[in-house]
Amino acid sequence: MSQMRTPSTPSKIAPFSISIPEADIEDLRQRLKSTRYPRTSPDAGWRYGTDKSFMEELIAHWLDKYDWRSTERRLNRFPQFVTNIDGYDIHFIHERGSGTNPLPLVLTHGWPGSFVEFDSIIEPLAHPERFGGSADDAFDVIVPSIPGYGWSSPPSRPITTRDIAPLWNKLMVDVLGYPSYVAQGGDWGSLIASWLGVDFTEHAKAIHINIMGLRPFTGDGSAPFDADETKWLAKARDRLRRESGYQVIQGTKPQTLAFGLTDSPAGLAAWIIEKFHGWSESPNGIPPFTLDQLIDNVMIYWFTQSIHTSTWLYTAARLEGGMGLGKDEKVTAPTGFMACPFDLFPPPPSSWVERTYNLVHRTDLASGGHFIAYERGNDLVADIRKFFRNYR
């Protein structure tokens, strides 16, 4: 029996397709042709940020070989919609699954990613029988863009991931009519999924994350750290010390940064792609993604002019929190965790995860990093299928 029901609060859902005016594409090309490259030391490589020679190669590819219209057609093969929830226009993909009872699954991206990260895993999740699997594992796949990202409207001020979770619950329950669902996410998406697992457990049956973004309560009355936790915290803090420059500027003065990134496609690409290099398994210093994949993601930010508002989650985290649990709070929804060794932080010990989550499933990958749907999509699909079988 299908889990769909009549929405309790009717909400207008408008079909949506991506169609960028040719004038915008030509404007982008002219800006790329006028790129001014910075002076760098001969042996800089990726040591101080994005590698100059890599950017020269990427921009040449962008101008001479990359085909946005092909990307547009590929993304438009998925049914896309926009609906208004609490004043926000939310853009989302809704790919209905095969079989008699596909499980509703909301996938959420983070920064500096976008909904395009999930391009290659939507169909295997929705139609597993087309990829050597069973239709019994099918999902109705819903991929919304976070407010301020892509074609979702921005907030009027910075909001937290806990503020976004109610929007997702309303999308799934009130707009799409699912009485229950499951959620998956990485980066900010992992926090949004986690808050669903705290605040909306009557609807969110289980969650799956590929980074542990939500922090446990460690104040008075919490258990002391064990040896594994202490060792991991030292590694995580060292990693943060080396990688957190972007968090500081995006958490304090994002508007200053936005002037350059909104005006220069090369600058925007360099800012974003440095993370795709640094938070992934990068043999020989080359990000493990195709140039087209990297450009696809940058194009979403460029055409929607959303880089500024995409950073507001960092500003809100600094000003309002939303990154950690309060005393006596826990993610009570059953949680699956895929640990990726080359992510922003090293995989935490299970004892640390269990401080925050009702951890019932863990998979440790031998490789892969932050953008796991791009890097190891087949592994992510397999783990999502395996974990959520118990919640159908």
Spatial separation of the C-alpha atoms in residues 35 and 59, rounded to whole Å:
9
237: in domain: no
208: in domain: yes
Q: What is the mean pLDDT of residues 300-305?
A: 99
Q: Residue 7 — very low, low, confident or very high, per pLDDT cuts 50/70/90?
A: very low
Structural domain that includes position 179:
13-217+246-391
279: in domain: yes
Are the C-beta atoms of residues 287 and 353 closer than 8 Å to each other? Answer: no
Q: Residue 389 — very low, low, confident or very high, per pLDDT cuts 50/70/90?
A: very high
Q: Residue 367 — very low, low, confident or very high, per pLDDT cuts 50/70/90?
A: very high
Q: What is the mean pLDDT of residues 305-312?
A: 98
Catalytic residue among 149, 181, 314, 374: 314
What's the confidence (pLDDT) of residue 321?
86
pLDDT digits (tens, 9 = 90+) for 99-150: 999 999 999 999 999 999 999 999 999 999 999 999 999 999 999 999 999 9
232: in domain: no
239: in domain: no
Provide, rounded to the nearest whole percent, the portion of the chain with pLDDT above 70. 97
Indicate the number of domains in the chain: 1
Catalytic residue among 51, 140, 187, 343: 187
pLDDT digits (tens, 9 = 90+) for 184-210: 999 999 999 999 999 999 999 999 999
Catalytic residue among 370, 374, 379, 383: 370
For the domain that residue 324 is a member of, what is the CATH number? 3.40.50.1820
Q: Which residue has the tokens 């006028």?
A: 34
Residue 314 is among the residues annotated as catalytic for this protein:
yes
Q: Is the pLDDT of residue 5 over 60?
A: no
pLDDT digits (tens, 9 = 90+) for 354-364: 999 999 999 99
Going by C-alpha positions, the residue among 116, 108, 28, 113 that lies closest to residue 310 is: 113
What's the confidence (pLDDT) of residue 4?
41
pLDDT digits (tens, 9 = 90+) for 232-257: 999 999 998 898 999 999 999 999 99
What's the confidence (pLDDT) of residue 322?
85
Q: Residue 11 — very low, low, confident or very high, per pLDDT cuts 50/70/90?
A: low
Q: What is the mean pLDDT of residues 209-224?
A: 93
Pairing of strands 103-108, 139-144: parallel
Q: What is the mean pLDDT of residues 156-177?
A: 97
Residue 187 is among the residues annotated as catalytic for this protein:
yes
CA distances from 6 to 2, 172, 175, 200, 271 (A): 12, 12, 9, 20, 44
What's the confidence (pLDDT) of residue 294?
98
